[in-house]
Amino acid sequence: MPLVCLTDFQAQARERLSKSSWDFIEGGAGEGITRDDNIAAFKKIRLRPRYLRDVSEVDTRTTIQGEEISAPICVSPSGFHCLAWPDGEMSTSRAAQAAGVCYVTSTFASCSFEDIVAAAPGGLRWFQLYVQPDQQLNKQLVQRVESLGFKALVITVDAPIVGNRRHDIRNQLDLKMNLMLKDLRSPKERNSIPCLQTSAISTSFCWNDLSWFQSITRLPIILKGILTKEDAELAVKHNVHGIIVSNHGGRQLDEVPSSIDALTEVVAAVNGKIEVYLDGGVRTGNDVLKALALGAKCIFLGRPILWGLACKGEHGVREILNILKNEFCISMTLTGCRSIAEINRNLIQFSNL
């Protein structure tokens, strides 16, 4: 039977992966309330279609940080893609390039930056950084990815420590002992430096440290994990170039707002000064349309990418992206939107369900 939607891939990926790998990918923090709410919150929003419009041509293209993408659907940073497929991030990178969308490479990629770039040299890539306690390592990482052609620096702000992920604790999952994090070492160093611990994330990184990052790179800096107007206003004040509204897929602090619920507050706070994106809970083309109607410039896709990878490697990720792009195009057409510019707040209403 063909896989025709993202949840079809979810079901098949569960059959293909070990229990510990599946739990790591699917698990949330605490009771999993925010993880589940990310998806459920989209279903409380209803669409208000407009008809009798010429929709013979519908254009899904848009731009992020000045770079064109084929649709407002990109790949979130997630680590350890080799858990799902042997080629890991190399397959993900190739699929994103083929789809014409941005792939955000994680600090905790299981393939080296160089291998990821070589796999898809023409792809649009951003780099996600977990700020390390060692400033020299941060500098080396940032300047290394900049020299490799990555186009933006995404700094994750919601993970000074790892959230309370009960499944991983029960499974005694120890990724740092099983996977070599090649991306955290230069090619010459890979055989001489011990594997960096996944827990080595700075707990002291704060707003005043952003100016140091701005001084060492020309890349636009985007903050991932902002959920409140207060932090959104501070992001603008500190001259960052974008915000990814995200709760880390419900994997960090449980019982925070869903991403789509937090989006409105953040968009209002930045008031068009910087681009705002959404990560978390997107499973259908309608979800993409709803996020854009509420002010997101594009959405980033996390777990579904790993489902596609687990099922069919590069081709599975391509299928995931193409399914969502096609669904989004249908959603645009059936609501009377011929271009991204025509998507606005009037297209949606909040249900009482």
Would the annotation count 282 as a binding residue? yes
Rg (CA), the chain: 19
Has 246 been labeled as part of a binding site? yes
| Helix, strand, or coil (residue 245) | strand
Residue 35: how many other CB atoms lie within 10 Å: 23
- Active centre residues (catalytic): 248
Six-digit token pair at 8? 């079809």
* DSSP code of residue 179: S
∠325-125-338 over CA atoms, to 5°? 30
Q: Is 280 annotated to bind ligand?
A: yes
348 beta partners: 47
Alpha-carbon gap, residue 289 to 333, rounded angstroms: 11
d(CA 127, CA 63): 17
Among the listed residues 138, 295, 155, 125, the one whose alpha carbon sits nearest the alpha carbon of residue 225: 155
The whole-angstrom separation of Cα 65 and Cα 68 is 9
345 is in an annotated binding site: no
302 assigned binding-site residue:
yes
Contact 238, 207 (CB under 8 A): yes
Instruction: Note the Cα 120 to chain centre separation in Å.
Output: 18
Cα gap 132→111, rounded to integer Å: 19
Is 331 among the annotated ligand-binding positions? no
Q: Please tell me what DSSP assigns to residue 313.
A: T
Residue 248 marked ligand-binding: yes
Is 165 part of any known ligand binding site? yes
Consult the annotation and say whether 160 binds a ligand.
Answer: no
Is the CB of residue 119 less than 8 Å from the CB of residue 94?
yes
- Was 59 annotated as part of a binding site? no
283 is in an annotated binding site: yes
CA distance 329 to 338: 9
Is 295 in contact with 276 (CB distance < 8 Å)? Answer: yes
Residue 56 annotated as binding site: no
Whether residue 192 is annotated as binding a ligand: the answer is no
Three-state secondary structure call for residue 236: helix
Q: Which residues are annotated as a binding site for glyoxylate?
A: 165, 248, 251
Q: Which residues are annotated as a binding site for FMN?
A: 77-79, 106, 128, 130, 156, 224, 246, 279-283, 302-303
Q: Which residues are annotated as a binding site?
A: 77-79, 106, 128, 130, 156, 165, 224, 246, 248, 251, 279-283, 302-303
